[in-house]
């Protein structure tokens, strides 16, 4: 487990691709369990360590997660999420090119829990939730089956499969997304959806300092874009 930061109130980690954010009642590993093991290995105590889930990433998506190590810290971080004060920035590779190089998508999503998918629906549909994100195209490559674009995404809301659903619904689905783009083009070595929660910024719940973390996106397709290397050199 790649730990980016830790103190007595919070822990910031990089979630690998293919790992659940929290337990889904199977025997597969998940980040909450791994963080608990880590905390217990440092200071064994009776009972299970507290790990407060602040936000989640889909199983095929890698990137940064922050957890609260106390209820107070978790509560303060959760308020930042609900108040849109936690900055969650993603990098994605999409199939095709948006009409505009930057913009905002506002849709209403309905979650089909039985089939574990979400759909863009009309605003008045029962249980439909507002979903908003902004994006900008950073770089374009010509792939064998059409253009591929590297986009940076600022997630304003945190809906189920939001980025994947919205980009698919707007005609530029994510590369490698078998759920929302099963017939899409393939890139050698790219086995998962080309999406990474690459940057996270928030205010520390204790000392109130602004904290910002970045990681390198996982997946061979990201290495084809020079912008990714430039971002890494700026860290």
Q: pLDDT per residue over 110-119, tens digit each? A: 999 899 999 9
Largest Cα–Cα distance in the chain? 57
Residue 234 has pLDDT above 60, yes or no: no
- DSSP for 129-160? EEEEEEEEEEEEEEETTEEEEEEEEEESS--T
Q: Check if the beta carbon of residue 48 is closer than 8 Å to that of residue 32.
A: no
Q: How far apart are the first and last CA of the chain?
A: 20
Work out the average pLDDT over 23-34.
83
pLDDT tens by residue, 180-218: 998 888 877 677 899 999 999 999 999 999 999 999 898
**Distance separating alpha carbons of residues 153 and 169, to the nearest angstrom:** 16
Q: What is the CATH number of the domain that holds 110?
A: 3.30.2350.10
Percentage above 70 pLDDT, the chain: 95
Residue 227's φ and ψ, nearest 5 degrees, are -60, -35
The pLDDT value given to residue 174: 96
- Residue 223, pLDDT score: 87
Q: Quick check: 122 pLDDT over 70?
A: yes
* Residue whose structure tokens are 């890494």: 232
Give the lowest-confidence range in 57-66, 138-147, 173-182: 138-147
Entry pTM: 0.90
Q: Which domain holds residue 209?
A: 2-233
Q: Give how many domains the chain has, as a whole number.
A: 1
Q: Which residue has the tokens 């195209």?
A: 137
Is residue 126 pLDDT above 80, yes or no? yes
Please give the mean pLDDT across all residues of the chain: 90
Rounded CA gap, 103 and 164, in Å?
Answer: 16
């Amino acid at each position: 487990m790649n730990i980016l930061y830790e103190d007595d109130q919070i822990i910031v980690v990089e979630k690998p691709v293919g790992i659940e954010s929290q337990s889904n009642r199977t025997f597969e590993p998940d980040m909450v369990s791994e963080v608990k093991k880590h905390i217990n290995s440092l200071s064994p105590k009776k009972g299970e360590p507290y790990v407060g889930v602040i936000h989640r990433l889909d199983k095929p998506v890698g990137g940064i997660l922050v957890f609260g190590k106390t209820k107070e810290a978790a509560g303060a971080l959760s308020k930042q999420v609900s108040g849109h004060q936690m900055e969650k920035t993603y990098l994605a590779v999409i199939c095709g090119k948006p009409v505009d190089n930057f913009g905002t998508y506002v849709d209403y999503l309905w979650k089909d829990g039985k089939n574990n998918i979400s759909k863009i629906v009309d605003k008045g549909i029962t249980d439909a939730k507002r979903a908003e994100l902004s994006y900008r195209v950073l770089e374009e490559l010509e792939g064998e089956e059409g253009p591929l674009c590297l986009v940076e995404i600022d997630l304003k809301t945190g809906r189920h499969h939001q980025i994947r659903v919205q980009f698919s619904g707007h005609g530029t689905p994510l590369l490698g997304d078998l759920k929302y783009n099963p017939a899409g083009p393939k890139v050698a070595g790219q086995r998962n959806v080309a999406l990474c929660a690459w940057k996270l910024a928030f205010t520390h719940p204790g000392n109130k300092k602004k904290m910002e973390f970045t990681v390198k996106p996982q997946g061979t397709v990201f290495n084809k874009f020079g912008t990714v290397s430039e971002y890494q050199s700026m860290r």
